Amino acid sequence: MTLYKLMNRGLVRSLHGVISAGKESRVYEAETSKGITIAVKIYLVSSAEFRRKREGYIVLDPRFRRAPSNFRSFVYLWAKREYSNLAKAFESRVACPQPLFVEKNILGMNFIGRDRMRFPTLVEVELSITEYSHIYKEVLQNVRRLYREAGLVHGDLSVYNIFVTDKIHPILMDFSQAVVLDHPMASTLLERDVRNLVTDFNKRGVKTGSLQATLEWIKGESR
């Protein structure tokens, strides 16, 4: 079993509470053999919808081109893909979890929280307009850095997968759907991400500017 293999290597000593749960994966607060708190994401290998919804991201990705015919192998590739996306983002100084390891359907990341309690997402907090404005500015800076330095588009960005630290800084999460810039879906996904941000922060009283102007700034087409 994959988890036991990770335990034997000292990468995981124990799993604790579930941080988040969805139809396709579970994220756990875990501990390494050195007593370090980490996050462990386990992709479920029994979700019938998983491949149907995700195959386009793989077959159109120039890094892969071909999706494995075996379902388990597809899930393993998806986990490896998220690890790769996180590594590129982290190396480009994007505020995101640092990937630690990937083994089949299990992805390890640094834990985003304090004292074994995860930080809340944007949708879970109530902040002042000044604080929301500050976070919005930092989120856009990270989206721009992701685009221009890492060469990626997040692809699923919203207030539901942006954590807020205790010092009121955003951390972007869930990079499994991120795509490289020459992926055929990149422009569509970037526009969707930015539209989500503009809409969500407008609702919170932030003066966001237009969708088009924001897209041009992210791409470096304007100052």
Per-residue model confidence as pLDDT tens digits over 27-54: 999 999 999 999 999 998 765 566 666 6
CA distance 75 to 61: 15
Q: What is the pLDDT of residues 120-149, one digit of tens each?
A: 999 999 999 999 999 999 999 999 999 999
Q: What is the pLDDT of residues 54-107, one digit of tens each?
A: 666 776 677 766 666 677 888 888 899 999 999 999 999 999 999 999 999 999
As given in the structure block, the two tokens for residue 5 are 């293999």
Q: Which residues, 6+ apart, have CB-to-CB distance to 173 below 8 Å?
A: 96, 97, 112, 121, 161, 162, 163
As given in the structure block, the two tokens for residue 23 are 């139809």
Judged against a pLDDT cut of 70, whether residue 196 lies above it is answered with: yes
Question: For the chain, what are the domain ranges?
Answer: 2-114, 117-219
Q: What is the structure's pLDDT at 52?
A: 64
- Active-site position among 61, 115, 156, 200: 156
As given in the structure block, the two tokens for residue 127 are 């902040």
As given in the structure block, the two tokens for residue 197 are 């941000």
CATH code assigned to 117-219: 1.10.510.10
Question: What is the greatest pairwise CA distance in the chain?
Answer: 52
What values do phi and psi take at 31, rounded to 5? -135, 140
Name beta bridge partners: 172.
162
pTM of the model: 0.91
Is residue 174 part of the annotated active site? The answer reads yes
Is residue 200 part of the annotated active site? The answer reads no
In the 8-state DSSP scheme, what is residue 123? Answer: G
Q: What is the structure's pLDDT at 153?
A: 98
What does the mean pLDDT of the chain come to?
A: 90
**In Å, what is the CA distance from 184 to each residue of 59, 181, 187?**
11, 8, 7
- Active-site position among 61, 174, 193, 200: 174
As given in the structure block, the two tokens for residue 94 are 């994007």
CATH topology assigned to domain 2-114: Phosphorylase Kinase; domain 1 (3.30.200)
